Structures are given as structure tokens and as C-alpha cells.
Amino acid sequence: MTRPTDLLQGTLDLLILKTLSWGPAHGYAVARWIEQLTGEALHIGEGSLYPALHRLEERGWVESSWQLSSTKRRTKVYKLTVKGRQQLRAEAGAWTQFVDAVYKVLKTEEQPA
Amino acid sequence: MSDRWLRYFELPRRDPRRDVDDEIQFHLEERVADLVRRGLTPEAARARAAREFGDTHLVRDQTLAIDQRMQRRGDRAELLHNLWRDARVGFRSLWKTPTFAITAILCAALGIGVTTAILSATYAVLIRPLPYPNADRLVAVYSENVARGYHGTNISWPDYKSWREGSRTLEALGIWTWITATLSDDATEAERVSGAWVAASLFPALGVRPLIGRGFTEEEETPGRDLVVLLSHRIWERRFGGDSAIVGKRITIDGKRYTVVGVMPPRFNFPDRGDLWMPFATDPATEVHGNRGYAGAIGLLRPGRTIEQARADLHAIDAELVRQFPNDNFGWDAEIKSLREDLVGDFEQPLKVFLVAVGLVMLLVCANLANLMLARATTRGREIAIRSALGASRQRLAAQLLVESVLIAILGGILGIAIAWWGVRLLRFAFPDQSPPFYVTLALDGPALLCAAGLTVVTGILFGTVPALRATRTNLGSTLRDGTRGSGSSTHRSRLRSALVVSEIAISVVLLVGAMLLVRSYRNLAGTSLGFDEQGILSARLTLPSARYTRAQAKLFFDELLTRLRREPGVTMTASAQGIPFSGWNLQAGTTVEGAPPPKRGEDLVVHYQYVTPDYFRAIGVKLVTGRWLTEADHDSLNPVVLVNEQMVIKGFGGRDPIGKRVRVGGDRDPFATVIGVIRDFRHYRLPQPMGPAVYYPYATYPGRQQTIVIRTTRDDPSTLAPALRAAVRAVDPKLALYDVQTFEEAVSKSLWRQRLQGNVLSIFAALALVLACTGLYGVIAYAVAERTRELGVRMALGATRSNVLRLVLGQSGRLVLAGIALGIGAAAVGVHMLDSLLYGVQAIDPATFVAVPLLLALVALAAALVPARRAALVDPIIAMRGE
């Protein structure tokens, strides 16, 4: 499997933090949300979500607990921590700046003097 | 290991493997269910879900790795957190009970301190390799004559030559002998230094090469070619300013010019702190078979050969020598031992005794600490019960108690290192001249500190575990229900504590007995009647270079020096001898009494002899028994007159009056000498060696160049005469250097340093033991009384008098003390034989000691018990019964 992990990794982390900012969710729900919102645009192996989630947990940006799902299954539910929310804000800001900058370049017609 | 350690603290743990599997499984199943709901067949749904998910194994491994890392980190944090919390709680509870804390910490500190000090001394002396590269293969060779009781005596050159040429077990052998020499140049003050004559093969055998220059060659072992010298690094730096061009230069030694061929490396010492070495050159006198006048030889075993093999090897050569030279070699054998044993052999037995003693002290410390902890656990029974009722697991409680004892051990350990540092310093100062010999590096270094750390941990766990486990085994209900302190349930614990106290007392008995025996031995030695009066005498040695002094000139020199000194205020008498008592100076020779039947082989009379000035014996306070003193007029060297001692009268003359009889010391060519007087025996040899027969010649009949000057003074401190003595020597000949300037008292007291040290060390241990045992006893009785307060109150209410109660409590202590003493005496009677070789003038099973020690211990122990017993007797029954 060859894919631009680095870029994707950071982006994936950002997407996960964003989805969790709406409320606690298990991994499957996070996967569905990302799929719905991005359509086919970002094609990620859904499996790579899990190492990402656990890494976020290791960093203290999300925390997890075991709960019973609606189907009475044992599920691991993730929740954004205060630190995670700050991280999301910081990363989202950086991302927007980055996108703005790239966009500005792309929009420019003339070669700068 | 961390896993088990953690489980000791905490709940059953989660399994990250199962968690990750569950999580992935859940994801896949939910996806399949979704897809099926959207109309896919289950097979298609499963295939699609798997495709979307990617490599499950990879995901699982990556995720698991993160989780495990997280878990480890969490565990560590938790362990630290728990430890920190326990340590804080421990600190707080120690702070609240300062008496307990201080007692326990001091106790641990003393134990760890003395043990570390003794272990570091043992390491330094018995284990640390000697400072020579070939240390493990080096042997020292001397002569012995078992029939005559001579061991470790000087060797003869012909014997050495035969050993060297005939031995198949030794790779190298080099003869050596002590020398002292005077360095004198015009520029600097003359200086007396010691060193050795060494065979060219000796330093290579040690494995040491000169730092600069070269060693000796075999050609330099011949007279005339032997005017070469090797210098120590020390003297090269001090006297020659580290001159790098010194090799090839000539220096003046004893009035002769020697060429420096090399400088030995720093910290090289041989045989003791030598400063210069010259080749061992032979002359006709050296080659006489019976001339056993050279200190010894150093050999290097061939790899794989043992000392036993080398001994057999040399003894075979000796047997051949006896066949060839029966007159000179009958009864003589090579004595061979490892160089280490030769150097530190004397220390081995005392160190073993110290090790055993310190081991006992350490046991005592542990017993005492365990006792303290148990007693504490008793008073904390309720606290522990309440905490466990509130949900603290047994593990957590035990961990808490264990951390507390480790805390005590660590604090004790830190203090202990300070004590050990101080102890090592004391030991260093205990050596003569305030410094140990070069091959003993006494220091509180790596191994010693490691041992202190080890002891700390072991002590902490040893005395912490049992009380921790016992305390937490408390039956919850009964302790809480009891309400009062103590009835039934604590008898178990107090029995353990009684056993501990009994063994503490037993150990103290053993240590006290040992200490008393060694102290008595030292007292006996120190109190030995020396036969001379060591007070008010200053002595010093002086050697005149043969290049500038003939024997006649030597006599003139010494006469003038003694006359000058006699004029000093406070000086009453001056004299000289070749060797003074306790100096180690000892010349002996075979002696014939005129008219006596020739002795059987191996039974000939060997006497100590020397040349002394007429006033020598009066100056050192030796009494004349019969006959007359020597006078200045006794200088006829063809028909000399001599004094003999009482031993000589017994051994040489069968106890009959020797005055007027004639003796011959030495061989056929020596003259017969007429006995003119008998003096009392006095201790010339170091204690405990007894005096043997001796013959004393007038100095005037054969004036030597090396004499020891003796000055008797009325001054309180004879050493105040030293400046005057130096000035007098300078006035007569400024190129001479005085050495070994010391008072007789110093010489005597120095020679007993080892016995004194043994007595002191064991006394310190015994005193420690006594204090520890009494603290232990006091603690046990005090707690027993506290526990029984209510019972005692009831007894008193029912009519028991105060003296009844006192007797009750003292009786309890008495039983423990008696049991301990009985046990201790039994153990001491067996163990005391370890001291046999260290005792002097006292039997191992010394009745006085075996009576005095138990009595002393019983008295001290009962005094320790009296305090709580009195407290019990003063109990107010009303308060005791009402109160908790």
C-alpha cells in the first residue's frame, strides 16, 4: 500500500478531531461521518482510523471509555478532551491559512514582479 | 518483573489485545449490517467491508503497539504515584512518632555504618589485588627451621641460588634484603631513606618496569659493577625535582658515587615504602651457606602451578642441600607463601573476627528494627483495621508498611554512610604512623558504597516484610471489636517479639564475651612487665658511611656525640646499642659454652647478641642480677668480657653461676668471651614473643657504624630533646641523617597497635550490641505493660499490691533475659575458639569473662526493664480499667 501517509496522517487527525467535536462517538461512527462528508473525495482505508484514534488518545487529545452500544455490544467510545479541542482550534486555523495561501497562489493570473 | 510488582499493588488489569480485537470486530460487523440493510448479500457485504477497512492485521498491530506503549507509561506513572504517596504517608507517620523514627533510623544507621566500614576494610586487605601486575602468581620465600621453631626467617644466598637454579615451578625468583642509606649532596640536607638490595630478576618478576631508564642487569650483581641505583618516583620528584635527564647522572649515597639507571613508576613500593634500590651484589661472605642474613626472595609461579607444588619443589632441593651441607643446612627448609598472605597474613584472622562480629551486629540491628516495627504495628492495629475496613487491600497496606521500613532503611543508610566514612578514617588512623601500608587502600569507594546500598535495601526488606505481613493479617472484626488494646489475639505477635529479644540478648552475650577476651588480651600484653623502663627515653638511629668512617673513627664519632648530648639540660644518661627493644633488630648466632658437651644436631644454642655501650642497660632501666656492669675499660677485643641475661644462664649454663665462665658466639674463628655479669631478662622482641638467651658485648671491642642512640632524660616529654639531638649530630658531622627518632613509649605502644585495635573494635561492637539489646528489651516490656494496663488494673483492684505487679513485670523480663543469656553462653562457648590465635594470657573459655558478662548483661537488662515495670506498678486501677 503506497499512499501519502504524512499529509494524510495530519489531515486524518484533524478530521477525526473535528468529527469528535460534535460529541462522543465510536470508531465506526467517525468513519461513517467522514465518509458522508467527504464522499469519495478522500479515500482512506477505514482501518487506518484506529491507529490514528489511539495515537490521539496517547497524546491526550481524546479519551475513551467502554460503553454498551444500541445493539448491546461492548463498544469503545471516544470523546474530545479540553486539550483536544485546543488542538483542533490550532490545527484548523493552520489548515485554513495553508489553504488560503495555496488558493491565493492558484487564483493569481499574473507572474509577480 | 514490573508486571508482578504492579499486580502486587493493583486490581486485575485490562487486556489491550482483546480490546483492540473487539473494536475492529465491532467496526466490521456494523459495516456488514449497514450494507446488508442497503440490500447487499451478506457475502458481498463482508467482502466490501473488508476491502474498505484495509489490512486488519496491520491495523491491529499498529493500534496494539500504541496501546501497549500507553499502558506501560501509565503503569510507570501509577507506580511512581503510589510510591510517592506511600513515601509521603510514611514520612508523615514517622514525623508524628519521632521517638520511634529516630530510634529506628539510628539503629539502621549504626548497623549499616559499622558493617560498611568493616566490609570495606576487609575488601581492601583481603580481596583488592596487590598493586603488582603479576599479583596473583607472586610468592614470598623465606627460611624456616621447624625443629627450632623458626618461621619466616632470613635466607642465605647459596640456598637462594640453589632454589633459583633447581626450581621447575617458579618462572623467576629474586632475592632481596632491606637497606637504609643516606643520600647526601652538597646542595641539600642529608637524608636517610630506606629501600632494598634486589636481584636483577625481582622487579621483572613483580611485572613492573621503570618509568624511565632501565632495570638492573645480572652483570650488576657483582661487586664493583653494582654502583647503580633505581629511584622511587616519590624521591625523584621530591629530591631531584622530577629531573627527566636524571638517568646516567651520579648521586652520593653513603659517601659513594652511584649512577642512576632508572626511576620506578609512581605508587610503586617494594618491599614496603622503599625509595631506592641497588643490585644485590655477592661477596665471599654472602656465599657462606650458613649466612642467613638476607630478608627473603620473591618468586613468580609458572602459570598453572600452585604454591603447594612450588613448596614440594623447593623442599626437594632443600633435602639435597642438607645432604651436601649438613652443618649449615640441617633442619632448614624454604618457607613459601603467597605474597598477599605474606603481606596481610596478620590481618586475616582479626578481620574474620570483625566480619563475624559485624554480621552479628547487623543481625541484632535487623532484630531490633523488626521488633520496633512489630511494636508499632501493635499500636497501629486499629488504624490498619479501620483502613482495611474502608477498602484498602491487604497488598496496599503491606506495601505502605514496607515503604515505611524501606524509608527508615534509606535514611539510616545515608546516615550509615557518614558513620562508615568516619569508621574508615578511624581504621586508617589505627595503623602505626597513622597510615596503612601501601598495599592496603582503605577508602569508602565504589565497592563499599555498593555494599552500603545493598545493606540498606536488604535491611529495609528484611525487617519490613515480616511485620508488614503480620500486621496486615489482622483479623478485622476482632481488632475492631476488641476496642481495648490487647487481649488474646496479640499473644502471637508478642511471642515473636520475645523470641527476637531473646536472640538479641544471646548475640550481645557472644559479642561481649569476645570483646572482653580481646580487651583482656590487650591489657595483658600492655601490662606485661617489660623488664625495662620505657618512660623518659628518646632514641634515634644513625648510620655512618663506611667510605668516610673506619671502625675506630666510628667509635670516636659516637663517643663525641654521646658526650655532647650528656651536656644537654635534663639529660641524665646517654648510651648506644645496635638495636633497641621493639625495633625488630635481631642478630642471632650459634653459641658454644666452654667445657659444655657439643650439642646434638638441631639442638644447638642460638643466642641474640649485640654490641652496646657500658651505660646502655642502666639507661634503659635494666637491673643487674649478679656480677658487674661493663665499663669503658672493657675494650679488649681478643679476650672480651660480656654480659648475659637470665635466659642465657638457664639455656647455656643450666642455671649455674656463669660469672667467669667463657662463651663463644659464632664460629671457630671468633674469640671466647668471659661472662662478668648477669642482667635481668627484658622484652627485646615485640610482644608477645618471649625473650630468649642473649649475650652483650662492649661496643668498644667491635665498633659498628650503625648504632641506635638512647638518651635518658628527666624531661616529661623526651621528644622535646629531638632538636638538640639533631643539632648535636650536625655539629659533629653535617652530612649525616638521623632517622627513627622516637620515644621508647611510642615504640612500645606502636608495637601493640593491632591488639589494641582488635580490642577497641570489638568493644565498640559489644557496646553497640548491649545498647541495641537493651533498647529491644525495653521496647518489648514497655509494650507488654501498655497492652496489659487494663489487666494490671483489674489485678490491683482485686488486691494485688504494687510490688506484686512490679515482680510480675520484672519476672517476665527476667525470663527473657535468662533465656537469652543461656543461649548466648552456649553460642559463645562454641564460637570463642575463633579467637584462640588472638588471645594472650587468657583462655578462650575464661571463667571470669563467662561470669562477668552474663552478670553485667543481666544488670543492664533489668535496669532497662525497670522503667516500664515501675510504670506498670504506678498504674491507677480506676483509670486503667476505665480508659482504653
Does pLDDT of B98 surpass 70?
yes
* B32 and chain A in contact, CB less than 8 A: no
Instruction: Spell out the residues 6+ positions from residue B115 whose beta carbon is closer than 8 angstroms to its own.
Output: B358, B359, B361, B362, B420, B451, B455
Residue B332 counted as domain residue: yes
Binary contact (B63, A50; C-beta < 8 A): yes
CA-closest candidate to residue B148, choices B585, B610, B604, B688: B604
Range name among B139-148, B592-601, B625-634 with the lowest pLDDT average: B592-601
Grid coordinates representing B50 are 473488508
Burial of residue A2, with CB atoms counted within 10 A of its CB: 0-12 exposed, 13-18 middle, 19 or more buried: exposed
- Nearest CB to A50: which of B23, B30, B69? B23
Binary contact (B59, A74; C-beta < 8 A): no
Q: Looking at residue B2, what is its pLDDT?
A: 43
Confidence of residue A5 (pLDDT cuts 50, 70, 90): very low
Q: What is the C-alpha separation between B582 and B468, in angstroms, rounded?
A: 58
Binary contact (A45, B24; C-beta < 8 A): no
Does pLDDT of B482 surpass 60?
no
Closest residue on chain A to B25 (Cα): A75
DSSP B131: S
Chain centroid to Cα A81, Å, comes to 14
Note whether B711 and B615 are within 8 A (CB).
no
Same domain as B522, residue B565: no
Does pLDDT of B69 surpass 50?
yes
Does pLDDT of B4 surpass 50?
no
Query: Choosing among A28, A55, A64, which should be mutated to test the B contact, i.e. which has the most B CBs within 10 A?
Result: A28
* A46 and chain B in contact, CB less than 8 A: yes
Q: What percent of chain B has pLDDT over 90?
A: 33
pLDDT per residue over B647-703, tens digit each?
A: 999 988 989 999 999 999 887 788 899 999 999 999 998 877 889 899 999 999 999
Binary contact (A51, B62; C-beta < 8 A): yes
Does pLDDT of A1 surpass 50?
no
Q: Looking at residue A62, what is its pLDDT?
A: 94
pLDDT per residue over B5-39, tens digit each?
A: 444 444 445 688 888 998 998 999 988 998 999 89
Which chain B residues are Cβ-neighbours of A55 within 8 angstroms? 66
Q: Looking at residue B10, what is its pLDDT?
A: 46
Grid coordinates representing B606 are 642460638
Q: Are strands B662-665 and B673-679 parallel, antiparallel or unpaired?
A: antiparallel
Question: Given B96, B121, B155, which residue is the final one in a domain?
Answer: B96
Please state the domain extents for chain A: 5-107
Confidence of residue A111 (pLDDT cuts 50, 70, 90): confident
Does pLDDT of A6 surpass 50?
no
- Nearest CB to B53: which of A1, A47, A54? A47
Q: What is the C-alpha separation between B627 and B639, in angstroms, rounded?
A: 18
Query: Choosing among A32, A50, A78, which should be mutated to test the B contact, i.e. which has the most B CBs within 10 A?
Result: A50
SS (H, E, C) B167-188: CCCEEEEEEEEEEEEEECCCCC
Please compute the mean of the pLDDT values over residues A9-34 and round it to a whole number. 88
pLDDT per residue over B376-422, tens digit each?
A: 776 677 777 787 777 777 777 777 778 888 888 889 999 999 999 99
Domain containing residue B672: 549-734
Same domain as B617, residue B693: yes
Does pLDDT of B580 surpass 50?
yes
Query: Choosing among B19, B20, B25, B26, which should be mutated to test the A contact, i.e. which has the most A CBs within 10 A?
Result: B26
DSSP A23: S
Q: Which of residues 453-512 of B touch A (CB under 8 A)?
A: none
Q: Looking at residue B86, what is its pLDDT?
A: 82
Binary contact (A47, B59; C-beta < 8 A): yes
Residue B153 counted as domain residue: yes
Residue B121 counted as domain residue: no
CA-closest candidate to residue B537, choices B403, B768, B799, B725: B725
Range name among A11-15, B34-38, B237-241, B525-529 with the lowest pLDDT average: B525-529
Sign of torsion over alpha carbons A26, A28, A34, A37: negative
What's the number of CA atoms in the CB half-sphere (13 Å) around residue A101?
A: 6
* A11 and chain B in contact, CB less than 8 A: no
**Dihedral, CA of residue B5, residue B9, residue B10 and residue B13, to nearest 10:** 0
Binary contact (B56, A47; C-beta < 8 A): yes
- Nearest CB to B53: which of A32, A46, A58? A46
Same domain as B84, residue B142: no
Same domain as B36, residue B145: no
DSSP B642: E
Question: Given B70, B96, B122, which residue is the final one in a domain?
Answer: B96
Does pLDDT of B137 surpass 90?
yes
Confidence of residue B492 (pLDDT cuts 50, 70, 90): low
Residue B747 counted as domain residue: no
- Nearest CB to B53: which of A45, A75, A76? A45
Does pLDDT of B866 surpass 90?
no
Does pLDDT of B622 surpass 60?
yes
Q: From the CA of B65, how many Å to the nearest CA of chain A?
A: 9
Confidence of residue B337 (pLDDT cuts 50, 70, 90): very high
The count of structural domains within chain B is 4
Same domain as B269, residue B170: yes
Q: Looking at residue B486, what is its pLDDT?
A: 43
* B26 and chain A in contact, CB less than 8 A: yes
Q: What is the C-alpha separation between B192 and B184, in angstroms, rounded?
A: 9
Sign of torsion over alpha carbons B486, B487, B491, B493: negative
- Nearest CB to A51: which of B19, B34, B66? B66
Which chain A residues are Cβ-neighbours of B23 within 8 angstroms? 27, 50, 75-76
Same domain as B724, residue B617: yes
Range name among B31-40, B132-141, B301-310, B485-494 with the lowest pLDDT average: B485-494
Q: From the CA of B70, how many Å to the nearest CA of chain A?
A: 6
Confidence of residue B315 (pLDDT cuts 50, 70, 90): very high
Q: Looking at residue B104, what is its pLDDT?
A: 86
Burial of residue B443, with CB atoms counted within 10 A of its CB: 0-12 exposed, 13-18 middle, 19 or more buried: middle
Instruction: Spell out the residues 6+ positions from residue B402 whose beta carbon is closer than 8 angstroms to its own.
Output: B460, B461, B464, B465, B468
Please state, rounded to an integer, the average pLDDT across all residues of chain B: 85
Binary contact (B52, A45; C-beta < 8 A): yes
Which chain B residues are Cβ-neighbours of A76 within 8 angstroms? 19, 22-23, 26
Same domain as B811, residue B726: no
Same domain as B815, residue B712: no
Structure pTM? 0.71
Question: Given B701, B734, B767, which residue is the final one in a domain?
Answer: B734
Confidence of residue B474 (pLDDT cuts 50, 70, 90): low
Q: Looking at residue B759, what is its pLDDT?
A: 83
Does pLDDT of B786 surpass 80?
no
* B61 and chain A in contact, CB less than 8 A: no
The architecture of the domain spanning A5-107 is Orthogonal Bundle (1.10)
Same domain as B140, residue B289: yes
Main-chain dihedrals φ then ψ at residue B839, nearest 5 degrees: -90, 150
Please compute the mean of the pLDDT values over residues B577-593 and round it to a whole number. 87
Chain centroid to Cα B660, Å, comes to 51
Q: Looking at residue A8, what is its pLDDT?
A: 57
Does pLDDT of B217 surpass 50?
yes
Same domain as B730, residue B608: yes
Please compute the mean of the pLDDT values over residues B231-256 and round it to a whole number. 90
Q: What is the C-alpha separation between B755 and B666, in angstroms, rounded?
A: 36
Range name among B397-406, B555-564, B701-710, B811-820 with the lowest pLDDT average: B397-406
* B58 and chain A in contact, CB less than 8 A: yes
Q: What is the C-alpha separation between B190 and B239, in angstroms, rounded?
A: 11
| Residue in this structure with the C-alpha cell 627484658, named with its chain if needed | B682
Which chain B residues are Cβ-neighbours of A31 within 8 angstroms? 27
Q: Looking at residue B483, what is its pLDDT?
A: 47
CA-closest candidate to residue B495, choices B822, B787, B690: B787
- Nearest CB to A48: which of B19, B23, B59? B59
Q: Which residue has the higher pLDDT, B262 or B668?
A: B262
Confidence of residue B543 (pLDDT cuts 50, 70, 90): confident
Same domain as B812, residue B671: no
* A58 and chain B in contact, CB less than 8 A: yes
* A57 and chain B in contact, CB less than 8 A: yes
This model of the complex carries an ipTM of: 0.87
Residue B574 counted as domain residue: yes
* A60 and chain B in contact, CB less than 8 A: no
- Nearest CB to A27: which of B27, B29, B67? B27
Residue B702 counted as domain residue: yes
Same domain as B332, residue B208: yes
Please compute the mean of the pLDDT values over residues B497-506 and round it to a whole number. 86
Q: Looking at residue B235, what is its pLDDT?
A: 92
Q: Which residue has the higher pLDDT, B432 or A78?
A: A78
- Nearest CB to A28: which of B26, B66, B67? B26
Q: What is the C-alpha separation between B421 and B112, in angstroms, rounded?
A: 11
pLDDT per residue over A63-76, tens digit each?
A: 998 888 777 888 89
Please compute the mean of the pLDDT values over residues B107-112 and round it to a whole number. 88
Does pLDDT of B585 surpass 60?
yes
